Amino acid sequence: MKTVAILGSTGSIGTQTLDIVRKYPDRLKVKLLAASKISEKLIRQVEEFRPQFVYTAEKGYIEGVEVLSGEEGLERLSELDIDIFINGISGIAGIKPTYLLLKNRKRLATANKEAIICLGEVLKDRYSEILPIDSEHSAIFQSIQAGRKKDIKRIILTASGGPFWDRKDLSGITVEEALKHPRWKMGRKVTVDSATLMNKGLEIIEAHYLFDIPYEKIQAVIHPQSIVHGLVEFVDGSIISQLSCPDMRIPISYAISYPERWETGAKFLELFEIGKLEFFKPDEERFPLLKIAKECGEKGSFYPIVLTVADELAVDMFLKGAIHFTEIPFIVERILEKADFKKPENYEDVIFIIEETKKIFKNLYKTAGGKIA
């Protein structure tokens, strides 16, 4: 029996993780659920899975369970004796738990790419212990096992391209349109990132830190069918890849069951039904964030952190209806232009850069009546 902690339990990754737990009551036991706040959904999860602990950012009470909260609660959470911690938190909110769990050498399966990126410069020597949940990185993690690291020629991340990859005119896109992902069921932030191709830019940086592969060996390709999730090319010319239906339960389950494989309830691939697999070069003119992200990755130092924070702030404004879809890259670029910090050497430096980037954003975009002034 494996004990499991689920951070971000009410989110997209969290609820799909609980689907797997529900399937294997004899193999998995939830010991902790964590969410930003106490909600009806969280209370229902507590009633169903009966964890010993709940963590929420703000203090609260739920009958029959010990509720940890605040900074102190987070410290305690990260020291709990639990077999595997699943981090399904969206965005930079997941940085502190990621940091504490890695510092305490806990077994961590994570989909929280923003935390991996922001902590990359200061914690990457711990990253070989991470079990990746992000589907592309899970595919790379699986494919890499076919060879030796020194024999890798290239790793390729596939992108569905989101809803607009072949659309000429990106003006006038509504929030509703951007949230309609053609293939994947995901949270709001990552779905918008997917539509701007920023998601792939962030994933290139994530792959660089997770697998310790130089940027010139990482490539992104548009693959609208979302069947091939990631590929590893070796020096002999062989490419090894992982294919499956686009269903997050597969990478989540693999991170939990590794090195075993369990049934997930996901649909099996029917090759005749798919018929064809297509690959296209991403258009970096129309989707500048992909190029900007690669440049930030290559520059290293504080750039990936500023990029991550700037994007999260810009996407949030878009979701609130304060800016147009096409203004997301514009805002990210303006914040990057103003950013200048020393190379982060520890966790405190990372937090400093994050807070300063938020200040740059505030100074640039004083919001007035929901519109940027």
- Min dist CB 203 to Mn ion, Å, is 6
Any contact of residue 134 with Mn ion (CB under 5 A)? yes
Written as six digits, the tokens of 276 are: 């064809």
Residues 6+ apart with CB under 8 A from 27: 1, 2, 262
Q: Give yes or no for a contact between 86 and 133, defined as CB atoms under 8 angstroms apart.
A: yes
Interface stretch with Mn ion, choices 38-46, 132-140, 292-300, 315-323 (CB under 5 A): 132-140
3-state secondary structure of 306: helix
CA angle 148, 125, 335 (to 5 degrees): 110
Q: x-or-dash pattern for Mn ion, window 90-129, by CB under 5 A?
A: ----------------------------------------
- The token duo for 279 is 């690959």
Q: Which is nearer to Mn ion, 62 or 243 (CB)?
A: 243
Residue 66 backbone class (left: φ over 0; alpha: ψ -120 to 50; beta: rest): beta
Query: Is residue 233 close enough to count as binding Mn ion by CB under 5 A?
Result: no
By CB under 5 A, the residues from 65 to 84 that bind Mn ion are none
Nearer to Mn ion, 56 or 191 (CB): 191
Nearest approach in angstroms of CB 358 to Mn ion is: 25
Question: What minimum distance in Å lies between the beta carbon of 209 and Mn ion?
Answer: 15
Nearer to Mn ion, 134 or 247 (CB): 134
Distinct helix (H) and strand (E) counts, the chain: 16, 13
* Residues 6 or more apart whose Cβ sits within 8 Å of residue 165: 159, 197, 222, 224, 280, 282, 283, 287
Among residues 134 and 233, whose Cβ is nearest to Mn ion?
134
Least Cβ distance, residue 344 to Mn ion (angstroms): 24
CB 140 within 8 A of CB 207: yes
Binding letters toward Mn ion, positions 294-323, x by CB under 5 A: ------------------------------
The residue (of 251 and 344) whose beta carbon lies closer to Mn ion is 251
Closest distance to Mn ion from the beta carbon of 133 (Å): 9
Q: Secondary structure of the chain: what % helix, strand, coil (to 5)?
A: 45, 15, 35
Among 1, 2, 18, smallest CA distance to 10 is for: 18
Q: Closer CB to Mn ion, residue 33 or residue 220? A: 220
Taking CA atoms, 92 is separated from 29, 64, 88, 168, 310, in Å, by 28, 31, 12, 32, 11
Minimum Å gap between C-beta 227 and Mn ion is 14
Rounded to the nearest whole angstrom, what is the least distance from the CB of residue 281 to Mn ion in the complex? 19
The nearer residue to Mn ion, 90 or 135, going by C-beta atoms, is 135
Token reading at 241: 């890849």
Comparing every residue's Cβ against Mn ion, the nearest one is: 134
User: To the nearest whole angstrom, how small is the minimum distance from the Cβ of residue 134 to Mn ion?
Assistant: 4
CB nearer to Mn ion: give 114 or 134: 134
Burial, 214: exposed, middle or buried (Cβ in 10 Å; 0-12, 13-18, 19+)?
Answer: exposed
Residues that bind Mn ion (CB under 5 A): 134-136
